[in-house]
Structure 1
Amino acid sequence: MTTGSITALTLSAIQYEALDGGVAANVPEHIRLIEDAESHGARLVIFPELSLTGYRLDLLEGPEEWLSAADRRLDGIREICRRTGITAVVGAAFTQDDGTPRLASLAIHPSGAIEPSFKTWLHGPEQGIFVAGSHPAVLEIDGWKIALAICFDAARPGHAEWAAGAGADVYAVSAVYTAGEDHRLGLHLGARAMDNRMFSVLANLAGATPLGPSCGLSGFWGPDGLPFRQAAGTGTEVLTASLQHSVLARFRRP
């Protein structure tokens, strides 16, 4: 449970329709949307799975769309995070210093430091491209702990249980849920929140994807497992909520 003195955390879930053109085309849009989130008071911004390329695994056959921690193409996002004080979580194909290929959520902090989290439950063709992670990263912002999940991770109860055991207050999922997966999406996000008495947040890839059209529905679920804010459509949308420590405390009483 959160122990810091900050009783609320304002964060934005970005339902994002990735542009063609890979990292170079999508970085400027990420910067614009982080600025939008700042205008709503966000301290943390969550983007979808592979937001910097879209779910275009074919683009990853060469090295051009892979990122590293020192990649200068991230400088613009580093700068907007420094200027606003926001931590932004972006989705990318990521190469570790030792060459290990990861499907990652990269938390870019105001200091410029990058804190990566790797997808644990790879599926389909992902298994031939990436190496799976072992557990989610847990960010600490304003006294809150936020565990990062990527898509199919949220379908595995043990992933969120590990996060809860690490003290997570929020389970933040970057994903690609497509048309017809509305019910599945709701069950995953609601169950992970209710079973572990924490908030859950979804940033879903928007628009047309190689897996099919997005079903939208990015948003927020309370520790009762019920959604309290969701996207109205299936395009790009910034959704912001202020999560209250008092709500967690009520559900976590012995």
Structure 2
Amino acid sequence: MTDTLPVSVIQYRPLDGGIPANAEEHVRLIEDADDHGARLVVFPELSLTGYRLDLLDRPESWLAPDDHRLADVREICRRTGITAVIGAALREADGTPRLASLAVHPDGSTETAFKTHLHGDELELFTPGEGATHIEVDGWKTALAICLDASVPSHSGDSAAAGADLYCVSALYTKDEEHRLALHLGARAMDNRMFTALANLGGSSPLGESCGLSGVWGPDGLPLKQASGTGTEIVSAVLQRGRLNKFRR
């Protein structure tokens, strides 16, 4: 277990060209985050396609387990020692459709988290998950959440009860949701005495323009660092275990 954990959240404006083009750009951004010293890199909800549910009638818009299109992502994680959390529509081996975050580890293994609290058209397209998935990076227990999950206090509360140090949210918050975003990430951090991090999808989608503001919050509920715009941006922070211990005493 390390005393610090360098984290980079990627506010990402998806490219046209589907999964191959976006996977290539993910590799470039992971390389850039490595220059920031990151050990954990978090991308937004559906980062490999953008929030384009209208495109999910195309088989190529879905990721499969061990998908060959992630080969270069796996390689950059192996080479840098970074764990990268990426967002995609995933069909499990048995065909179950999931709105997922995939944690790609340096050893080549992959862990998956499934959005629990679906809404709107997602309800017709995906099968919900059953709570947060927990991964470990350098001894830091990290819970993975997807968008609306962060609005439900029990989702993060259960993670805190399981010992999570960090609650990572991959999401799409749009223009005029700035206050909602601040309340969700700040409250989840303060109420549970853990760090929270948000990777917000940048640019525009059928739901509207992004409000940006990807960043990291301390266990006191206050933001440590946030994005300055609404496009692609890397926001990096070093989490300190001593800060956790101070608020957990």
Normalised to the residue count of structure 1, the TM-score between the two structures is: 0.97
Q: Determine the C-alpha separation between the residues in 2 that align with 1:62 and 1:220.
A: 35
- For residues 1-254 of structure 1, what are the structure 2 equivalents within 5 Å? 4=1, 6-253=2-249
C-alpha offsets along residues 9-37 of structure 1, whole Å, 9 cap, x if unaligned? 00100000001121011011100000000
In the alignment of these two chains, the number of paired residues is 249
Normalised to the residue count of structure 2, the TM-score between the two structures is: 0.99
Contact 2:3 2:241 in 1 (8 A): yes
Contact 2:8 2:38 in 1 (8 A): yes
Q: Which amino acid aligns with 1:128?
A: E
Q: Determine the C-alpha separation between the residues in 1 that align with 2:65 and 2:248.
A: 37
Q: For 1:51, what is the secondary structure of its paired residue?
A: coil
For structure 1, list consecutive stretches of 5 or more residues without a partner in the other structure. none
Q: For 1:67, what is the secondary structure of its paired residue?
A: coil
Q: For 1:64, what is the secondary structure of its paired residue?
A: helix
Q: Give the drift of 1:70.
A: 1.7
Q: Which amino acid aligns with 1:244?
A: Q
Question: What is the RMSD computed on CA atoms of the aligned residues?
Answer: 0.6
Moved over 2 A (4+): none
Q: Which amino acid aligns with 1:144?
A: W
Q: Determine the C-alpha separation between the residues in 2 that align with 1:121 and 1:170.
A: 20
Q: Which amino acid aligns with 2:228?
A: A
Q: Give the drift of 1:62.
A: 2.3
Contact 2:224 2:237 in 1 (8 A): no
Q: For 2:213, what is the secondary structure of its paired residue?
A: coil
C-alpha offsets along residues 89-131 of structure 1, whole Å, 9 cap, x if unaligned? 0000011111110000000011111100000000000000000
Identity of aligned residues (%): 65
Q: Which amino acid aligns with 2:7?
A: L
Q: Which amino acid aligns with 1:183?
A: H
Q: Determine the C-alpha separation between the residues in 2 that align with 1:210 and 1:176.
A: 11
Q: Give the drift of 1:208.
A: 1.2
Q: Which amino acid aligns with 1:76?
A: D
